[in-house]
Amino acid sequence: MGTNRWTSAGIGDLSGHTIVVTGASSGIGAVTSRELARAGARVVMAVRDLDKGGAVADTIAGQVELRQLDLTSLASVRNFADVCDGDIDILINNAGVMHAPEGQTADGFELHIGTNHLGHFALTNLLLPRVKYRVVNVTSLLSSRGRIDLEDLNWDRRDYSSSQAYADSKLANVLFTYELQRRFTRAGSTARAMSAHPGVAKTNLLSHVTGLAGSFTKLAVSVIAQDVDSGALPTLFAATQDIPGNAFVGPGGFAHTRGFPELAKPPHASQNPERAARLWDLSCGLTNTEFTRPRNF
């Protein structure tokens, strides 16, 4: 489905709305925060580094608030949820790491799945009682390459691959969206969950990529990537436009790497109800959180 060259000018008036954006101190998160605040929303910028986030917040015209959130720590996630006051109209799970060296979160999870999926999974479940309208999970075009192993989520028994770990975590984002929307519907809630990906955009996500392969990847990205403002459009579209739950939004241009946002087909593996439910149950156990009905039902 095309969107007739939709841009952020089509967001509409968001006065009176509160929107939480994770990873708001750079890249797509910073642009998303800027455009939502410009449209009148109160934007809670969830950032790991308050100094870096403050420098970005100072450039934004509108109502923004900084809150510290480190998705590699479930203690930090719980603290954020405890101090995040009032209703939340939209939650945008944007933060992430890409191709990071092998490592673990504070809670012992593989870094990509722990940050990109489990941190946001816990945050969403903890905030759901206050969420009124929408949850947007920012994924990646590489989610289509995900082969998530639910028996070895932390790569304890496999040879580690940072690129595969990233793709798996991004597939997890879309599986999470699928199951979250199913639970919204079953609970009789009008809240919606959707996924969005930026295509290929010039952000700092490739900062961990090194070596010859990394140099080649960065060169290729520099040739085909769109600017970060364009990369943020699918997220903004998913957050603000009247589209169905479980929608998958991405650029409609060349190979879905660039262009104006459109509704696209999600990765086939992400629409498996059994796998989505298994990932949900596993994630609940690992994060000690569970689904609660959102504010709007």
Look up residue 158 and give its amino acid. R
Q: What is the pLDDT of residues 219-273, one digit of tens each?
A: 455 556 789 999 999 999 999 999 999 999 999 988 889 999 999 999 999 999 9
Q: Give 227-264 as a DSSP string.
A: PHHHHTHHHHHHHHS---TT-EEEE-SGGGSSSSEEE-
DSSP 24-83: TTSHHHHHHHHHHHHTT-EEEEEES-HHHHHHHHTT--SEEEEEE--TT-HHHHHHHHHH
Average pLDDT, integer, range 90-96 = 98
Catalytic residues: 166
Res 2: pLDDT: 47
CA-CA distances (angstroms) from residue 45 to 22, 96, 156, 213? 6, 14, 34, 34
Q: Which amino acid is it at 63?
A: Q
- What average pLDDT does this structure show over 29-50? 98
Q: Give the pLDDT band of residue 205 (cuts 50, 70, 90).
A: low
Helices 50-57 and 27-38, packing angle to 10 deg = 40
For the chain, give the percent of residues with pLDDT over 70. Answer: 90
* pLDDT at residue 293 in the model: 76
What distance in Å separates the CA atoms of residue 83 and residue 213, rounded to the nearest whole number? Answer: 42
Residue 256: the pLDDT is: 87
In the prediction, which pLDDT does 294 show?
A: 79
Domain boundaries, the chain: 8-284
Indicate the pTM of the whole model: 0.93
What is the pLDDT at residue 296?
60
Name the superfamily (CATH) of residues 8-284.
NAD(P)-binding Rossmann-like Domain (3.40.50.720)
Average pLDDT, the chain: 92
Report pLDDT for 97: 96
The predicted structure's pLDDT at residue 187: 94
Q: Which tokens go with 211?
A: 């070596």
Q: Give residues with Cβ within 8 angstroms of 111, minimum separation 6.
A: 72, 97, 100, 102, 103, 104, 105, 165
The DSSP bridge pattern shows strands 248-251 and 261-263 to be: antiparallel
* Model pLDDT, residue 3: 52
Query: Would you state the pLDDT for residue 218?
Result: 45
Confidence band of 195 (pLDDT split at 50, 70, 90): very high
* Residues facing 91 on adjacent strands: 20, 135
